[in-house]
Chains A and B, each alone.
Chain A
Amino acid sequence: MEGKPPSTGNHGPALSLIGAVKTFGEVVALADGRVELRAGEILALIGENGAGKSTLVKILAGVHTPDSASFMVAGESVVFGSVADSKSAGISIIYQEPTLFPDLTVAENIYVGRQPKGAFGLIDRGRMRDDAAALFARLGVRIDPDRVAEGLSIADQQIIEIAKAISMHAQVLIMDEPTAALSGAEVDRLFEVVRGLRDEGAAIMFISHRFEEVFELCDRVTVMRDGRHVADHVTADVTIEELVLEMVGRDIDQLFPKQEAETGVVVLDVEGISAGSVFRDISFTVRAGEIVALAGLVGAGRTEVARAVFGIDRYEAGEIRVEGRALQSGSPQEAIDAGIAFVPEDRRKQGLVMEMSIQHNITLTLRDSLARFGLIRRPEESAAADDWAKRLQVKAGSMRHSVATLSGGNQQKVVLAKWLATNPKLLIVDEPTRGIDVGTKSEVHRLLSDLAVRGVAILMVSSELPEVLGMADRILVMREGRLTAEIDRVDATSENVMRAATTPVEVSVGA
């Protein structure tokens, strides 16, 4: 693992981070982060979700301070206490969804806080506009510097962030999944711009899930897994298969013991649903006792399908049936009445009411069934809450404390408790173990497995391959809004799932 990294070009490292460690409570987000970035190259950073890429980026951005690390920028040792420190060290980060001020003009967004001054100390708007136009001309793009940022496409917003980085003379440009929301033509334009910057001597780090982009754009690749640096390669000397192996390589079956369960009747039957450009013509079924995983990359449309099934978002065409009965589009209440439960992806905003007590969070789904003559029966309510908290082993000082006081893992148990309390026929879980500690993670997996044994149908959206491979009876893979593969448990390998999720080739549905 300590092999000498291959090198391209003759430039010294513009940035190097070695042995970076970052923990959040019990969760180790980064155990051994390592990245070396040279001027005049584009380096790809790849790894599964949870491999520690975004933690590493946040350390470079000055958002997180590492617990320990050796961190050098342009040959000098640095410690970042804030985002401003990172900026002044010449590092610019371009996120998947840029943060522009929607009401300010494009030119102002580039120069906010450092607008050029003219006569009487007033902002020289003409110069600011000309400078911005010059930046865009250099990047070879057409964006009106005078329009407000609101309503710009994400592609244009990213170009503006790049223009901002250039105007600040950033030596290091880090792009965190910049292509996730872009169309083909927009990606081409972005790559053109990025190559131009590299040729002018910038050091660029590119984070992506799409292998074809990595091979098209990048000079070198760094692979991460489980919070650790795994390998460095020159892109030309490596194959997709090798990279996939390095990204996933681990023994899966030991981690996620899924019990065999008898599959019963079809509980969920989704037939040809479509919603604009978000997803198209999605059909699948989930049977009682079966765990079906929706796999794919972030942004492939998995969460959107799950939300449509639960009635949060509307769909245009197709039909969703639960035990043969058709559901109305866009009504969560009807989905709940039909026996669907939904553990959403964003625990803090969607899963829980953070300011409410643990007890009230658990009984929020039961509020109608706990009422007699329209009034909630208090003793029954606290009994139900206590019961479910005990069943899921929620660790808390008091049920009356706000749920915000709990750890991430315990919060997730509260979300599960509140939905299991509805005695669902179909449980949809979206990233059920994101951001929780290893111990709770396996508890959640055991719980899902037990539920399947008891005849609950489970639809699981997950970005973690080991979780998908370990838990699912069947795996549905999505790419760019379409189902690209359906793979049975016995046939599933990380390679064929990853391939279906990343390669643009149309794979016929059904394995």
Chain B
Amino acid sequence: MAETIGRSGQKADWVRLALSRDAIMIYAVVVAVLFASLRLERFASTLTVGFLLLDLIPVLLIAMPMTLIIITGEIDLSVASIAGLSSAMMGTLWEDGFPIWLVIVVCLAIGLIAGAVNGILIAGLGLQSLAVTIGTLALYRGLALVVIGDNAVASFPAGLTSFTTSKLGNTGIPTVMIGVMVIVIMFAVVLHLTPFGRGLYAIGSAAEAASFVGIDVARVKIKLYVWCGGISALTGIYWTLRFSSARSDNASGLELTVIAAVLLGGVSIFGGKGSITGVVAAVGLIGTITYSLRLERVSDVVLIIVTGTLLIVSVVAPRIFEVISGARHRRKLSTQLAVDRSAITTHTRSTAHRKEE
């Protein structure tokens, strides 16, 4: 039954990999893309690719640090507000005549600070992240309003805004996608290939065991929130340039879309499980389905049903399988146990008897 370690497990590993959550997400994306390309003639075009990707970038960007945070068992609801705050700052500072590079640096710095505030409140003071980030969601969005009010600033350098929406040659792929991919790869590397990333999983599934191997749990969490603030601010800058408009309500409500994508990607809300691959696939899947239906003239606002249903199915379906296989397993076990138990009982009784004699 139990073998000593050898190569025997490897074949099973391949099967496991092929049936893993990540793999299933990838199949789903491939099927969705193929289906859309065959059924919708306008889908497989450079124009589609361009719009699809431009739309996906904010969710994809923020999903990266969010994945890491949820893997440690925490959450950050303030990301969209940080993006809004950075957008508002960008508009105001630019209007006040600061050079654009300085404006961008200041916006990023504000994101990092906002993230650090989250991190210190959560990991430093030990407050619940759900409650804290509901508070900072209101606070940061409020500060965005304070900064820019009802104004909308649109007069950003034309070179910069057109660069943001520019495409790589005639592929339809946005130029900024290169930067986004670099960030995605960086997060994937950090999570999956570094000692730091390994520690995140340990924190998420057993914080105590993590601290027993020398991981400073609070410091790691603060670091993640700082990163998350920085990436959210970057997203705010992208949003501002892409739509060429700095407003206080930019990206509002984005936090729930991001979290939905992360959870759909197989990251456990309890922490300890998940991968960047799954999350990227989930973002792609939501994007593809949404965009195809949009091409079919299904109204945008109705499309959120897709996101919602995918999310519910993705958490409920595995549970159903679990319950079914669990029941089967229990039935098997109980018949087996019944046999074992009678054997053990007679055994212990007879030995007990012998000793007493």
Partner-B contacts on A (CB < 8 A):
1-2, 21, 23, 28, 31-32, 67-68, 228, 310, 312, 332-333, 335-336, 342, 344, 349-356, 360, 364-365, 367-368, 370-371, 374-376, 386, 389-390, 393-401, 410, 418
Contact = CB atoms under 8 A, between A and B. Distances in A.
Contacts of B335: none
Contact of A349 (B5, B16, B199, B206): B206
Given A397-B9, A398-B12, A336 B194 contact: no
Interface in B192-214: 193-195, 198-199, 201-202, 205-206, 208-214
A408 to B, nearest CB: 13
A428 to B, nearest CB: 11
Contact of A332 (B3, B10, B205, B214): B214
B306 interface: no
A459 to B, nearest CB: 16
Given A21-B345, A332-B214, A375-B193, A395 B198 contact: no
A31 B348 contact: yes
B4 A395 contact: yes
28 contacts: A1-B356, A21-B344, A21-B348, A67-B341, A67-B344, A67-B345, A310-B212, A335-B214, A342-B212, A349-B208, A350-B212, A352-B209, A353-B201, A353-B202, A353-B205, A354-B205, A354-B206, A355-B201, A355-B272, A364-B198, A365-B213, A374-B194, A394-B5, A396-B3, A397-B12, A398-B8, A399-B9, A400-B9
Nearest to A399: B5
B328 interface: no
A310 B341 CA distance: 42
A332 B212 contact: yes
The 5 closest A-B pairs by CB, nearest first: A398-B9, A367-B195, A333-B214, A395-B2, A355-B205
A351 B210 CA distance: 9
Most buried by B among A333, A350, A353, A395: A353
A400 B205 contact: no
A31 B344 CA distance: 11
Interface string B1-26: 01111001110110010000000000
Contact of A375 (B9, B194, B352): B194
Interface in B149-193: 189, 193
Given A32-B352, A396-B5, A376 B195 contact: yes
Contacts of A401: 9
Contact of A353 (B2, B206, B351): B206
B247 interface: no
Given A344-B212, A376-B193, 7 more contacts: A312-B212, A356-B272, A365-B214, A394-B4, A396-B2, A398-B10, A400-B13
B214 A371 contact: no
Q: Binding site of A, secondary structure by majority: helix, strand, loop or mixed? A: mixed
Interface of B: 2-5, 8-10, 12-13, 16, 189, 193-195, 198-199, 201-202, 205-206, 208-216, 272-273, 341, 344-345, 348-349, 351-352, 356
B70 to A, nearest CB: 14
Given A21-B349, A333-B216, A364-B198, A356 B8 contact: no
Contacts of A310: 212
Nearest to A335: B214
Task: Count chain A CB atoms within 10 A of each CB in B2, B198, B211, B344 and give the residue with the most.
Answer: B198
Given A371-B195, A400-B9, A395 B3 contact: yes
Contact of A28 (B4, B12, B348): B348
A296 B339 CA distance: 41
Contacts of A374: 194-195
A336 B213 contact: yes
B198 A376 contact: yes
A338 to B, nearest CB: 11
